[in-house]
Structure 1
Amino acid sequence: MKLFDKLKNLTKAEIIMIIFLILGILVSVFVLEPAFTNVDMHAGSIIYLDQKSSDIITLSASTTAASAAISLIPTDAGAPIAEQLMDFNLYFLIILCGIFIEKYLLTISGYIVFNFLIPIASVCGIGYILLKSQRAKMIGGKLCAFSVVLILVVPTSVQLSKLIDQTHQISLQQNIEDSDSLTEESEGIENEEGEGNWLDNLGNMIGDGISSLTSGVSDLVNKGEALLSDLLETVAVMIITSCFIPILVFLILYWATKLILGVEIPLPQKRLKLNKKEEKENEVVNEYIEA
């Protein structure tokens, strides 16, 4: 009955605002949610992330092949390089996970915002109009602000990553080519070592054969060291674009959320100090009464 009385006492502006909020819920659920969860809307970002993950997989495969080939060359000169090349696969896996998380959040964030956050914020707005609840108004406003941040955070991180990757794409392709070239040269040295029987190769290995083989292994080790240096730079850039930038954007989101949704809670220390003050006042009053 009280609610019916409040509905009768609504002004024209309040009625229009309630209708607007109800329409906002319908538009959010039935229009914006299908649009923002449609992969076609994020086609550019998805293509970029797919290409990036494909490059990571290709580079990982090339690096693994190069590591296996170097580990099989004569002498143990290439063993440390082969082990370090294999260690890069862990970083590639971390980067790949970051890319997949970004890709899926593109559509998931739209689903959360337009199916839940915006409708709840609109209901809070209606509650404020009908009940004049300041708490409902505060929650609704904070949810709207949080929705804007959430829907923009992933596309923003993807665009920032694109700007950095555009300047580093040539280096990535060069790393893949260097890894393939290193694998081919390693296999060539292995084939040279295995040609003919040991009696036929015994004379060749004395003199020019040994010198040629040693020179080839030395060049291969030098190229492996150069590849390690280039891969280190590539991995650093990829971690920045695929992991650090999204994490930084999410930290900004967390800070904004804490700022928007933060609620002041009285500290226990303040309450404790107040209790001590009250105890002292009571003691003074008791002493006065006893006196």
Structure 2
Amino acid sequence: MNKMEKIFGFERSSVLKVTGWIVLALVSFFVIANLPIIETMNNNMVTALDEKKSTVTVLATMATATSVVAGNIPGANSVAENLADINDYLIIVFAALWLQKYLIGMAASFTFKILVPIASILLAINQLKPDYQLKQMASKMMVLGLVLFFLVPTSIGVSKHIEQTYDQSATVSQVKSDSQSEESSNQDEGIGGFLAGLVDKAKTTVTSSIEDVKKILSDTVDAVAVLIITTCVIPILVFLLFIWVINLILGLQLPIFVPKVNISRRLKRQHTHES
């Protein structure tokens, strides 16, 4: 009876679990990573990010055009400089959008073709030769892979909810409609005609009053703030939330990468230096 319960010297239940982990590794590599639904989901996310990237590009161009026009209004030079400086923040938003697109392209393959199969094989080895550290490492690899896979879709979903709630500022909607009208009216003149159209639009929007320039600056700052929150802050918060929930439920103690600062030691060094 004991011989029947053992296979190759191992318990039958252990062999079945090892087989299950190996099957999971194969299914993850050959099936899950190539599912059409994942490709469709990735395409939808890329489309959403491209739309936001187009908004950022047009908003930066409109801010530049408005700053050029505002520079000719007496007393509006400082406001015009602030409008021009907004492009520095839009570059950060643009970089964050490209990073999210990169994560979309590699998350599924990296998770289901590398992390999950390797973690499954390590768990299979652990089943035959139990090792707590090996099990912890495999569990962390699998969980981090799933966090990486669901990070961008979740952050995009939360960002869309915020954008729908606050309508992403009236400036963004107005800029997008202005850019579409200018692009259609200047499509035969190329990018030069498009930029010229935006400058003309800025001239008609900005009158001789400095209050008009301040209003445009305020609306643009609001729009950029919403873009920074939805493209930079939300993904970081979603990642930290995932890690916190995983640590709370599974007790894996995944690192949250928050630097620890020993304030007392720093104050002591500063006091020693001053004495």
Tell me, what secondary structure is at the counterpart of 1:42?
helix
Describe the superposition over 1:161-196 as per-residue Cα deviations: whole angstroms up to 9, x where unpaired. Answer: 01111232461112566899994376579xxxxxxx
Alignment partner, residue 27 of structure 1: 27
In 1, the alpha carbon distance for the partners of 2:47 and 2:95 equals 16
- The answer to whether residue 218 in structure 2 is matched with residue 229 in structure 1 is yes
Alignment partner, residue 160 of structure 2: 162
Alignment partner, residue 263 of structure 2: none
Task: Note closer, same or farther for the CA distance 1:41–1:15 as it changes in structure 2 (3 Å cut).
Answer: same
1:184-223 equivalences in 2 (<5 Å): 184=200, 187=203, 217-218=208-209, 221-223=210-212
Task: Note closer, same or farther for the CA distance 1:186–1:58 as it changes in structure 2 (3 Å cut).
Answer: closer
Assess if the C-alpha contact under 8 Å between 1:117 and 1:144 holds in 2. Answer: yes
- The answer to whether residue 244 in structure 2 is matched with residue 252 in structure 1 is no
In 1, the alpha carbon distance for the partners of 2:111 and 2:176 equals 40
Assess if the C-alpha contact under 8 Å between 1:70 and 1:183 holds in 2. Answer: no
* Structural RMSD (CA): 3.2
In 1, the alpha carbon distance for the partners of 2:37 and 2:13 equals 34
**68, 85, 88: which one aligns with 1:87:** 85
Count of matched residue pairs: 229
- The answer to whether residue 239 in structure 2 is matched with residue 242 in structure 1 is no
Alignment partner, residue 47 of structure 2: 47
In 2, the alpha carbon distance for the partners of 1:135 and 1:67 equals 59
Q: TM-score, normalised by structure 1?
A: 0.68
Task: Note closer, same or farther for the CA distance 1:111–1:186 as it changes in structure 2 (3 Å cut).
Answer: closer
Q: CA deviation at 1:253?
A: 4.3
Describe the superposition over 1:48-86 as per-residue Cα deviations: whole angstroms up to 9, x where unpaired. Answer: 11100101101111111111122235xx32322211110
Task: Note closer, same or farther for the CA distance 1:222–1:184 as it changes in structure 2 (3 Å cut).
Answer: farther
Assess if the C-alpha contact under 8 Å between 2:140 and 2:254 holds in 1. Answer: no
Describe the superposition over 1:219-249 as per-residue Cα deviations: whole angstroms up to 9, x where unpaired. Answer: xx22111111111111111111111111112
Query: Could you list the runs of 5+ residues in structure 1 that have no partner in the other structure?
Result: 1-5, 190-215, 264-291
In 1, the alpha carbon distance for the partners of 2:201 and 2:224 equals 24
Tell me, what secondary structure is at the counterpart of 2:41?
coil
Residue 216 of structure 2 aligns with an amino acid whose one-letter code is L
Q: CA deviation at 1:93?
A: 0.8
Assess if the C-alpha contact under 8 Å between 1:117 and 1:143 holds in 2. Answer: yes
Residue 156 of structure 2 aligns with an amino acid whose one-letter code is V
Q: TM-score, normalised by structure 2?
A: 0.72
> Is 136-145 or 91-100 further displaced after alignment?
136-145
In 2, the alpha carbon distance for the partners of 1:84 and 1:137 equals 54
Task: Note closer, same or farther for the CA distance 1:151–1:36 as it changes in structure 2 (3 Å cut).
Answer: farther
In 1, the alpha carbon distance for the partners of 2:71 and 2:41 equals 47
Residue 224 of structure 1 aligns with an amino acid whose one-letter code is V
Task: Note closer, same or farther for the CA distance 1:94–1:185 as it changes in structure 2 (3 Å cut).
Answer: closer
Assess if the C-alpha contact under 8 Å between 2:83 and 2:217 holds in 1. Answer: yes
In 1, the alpha carbon distance for the partners of 2:213 and 2:178 equals 9
Assess if the C-alpha contact under 8 Å between 2:59 and 2:175 holds in 1. Answer: yes
Residue 105 of structure 2 aligns with an amino acid whose one-letter code is T
Assess if the C-alpha contact under 8 Å between 2:96 and 2:232 holds in 1. Answer: yes
Residue 163 of structure 2 aligns with an amino acid whose one-letter code is D
Q: CA deviation at 1:257?
A: 7.0
In 1, the alpha carbon distance for the partners of 2:26 and 2:202 equals 64
Task: Note closer, same or farther for the CA distance 1:111–1:36 as it changes in structure 2 (3 Å cut).
Answer: farther
In 1, the alpha carbon distance for the partners of 2:147 and 2:224 equals 29
Tell me, what secondary structure is at the counterpart of 1:110?
helix
Assess if the C-alpha contact under 8 Å between 2:22 and 2:120 holds in 1. Answer: yes
In 2, the alpha carbon distance for the partners of 1:80 and 1:177 equals 28
Assess if the C-alpha contact under 8 Å between 1:36 and 1:111 holds in 2. Answer: no
Describe the superposition over 1:228-284 as per-residue Cα deviations: whole angstroms up to 9, x where unpaired. Answer: 111111111111111111111223345467752559xxxxxxxxxxxxxxxxxxxxx
Alignment partner, residue 200 of structure 1: none
> Is 136-145 or 169-178 further displaced after alignment?
169-178
In 1, the alpha carbon distance for the partners of 2:127 and 2:51 equals 50
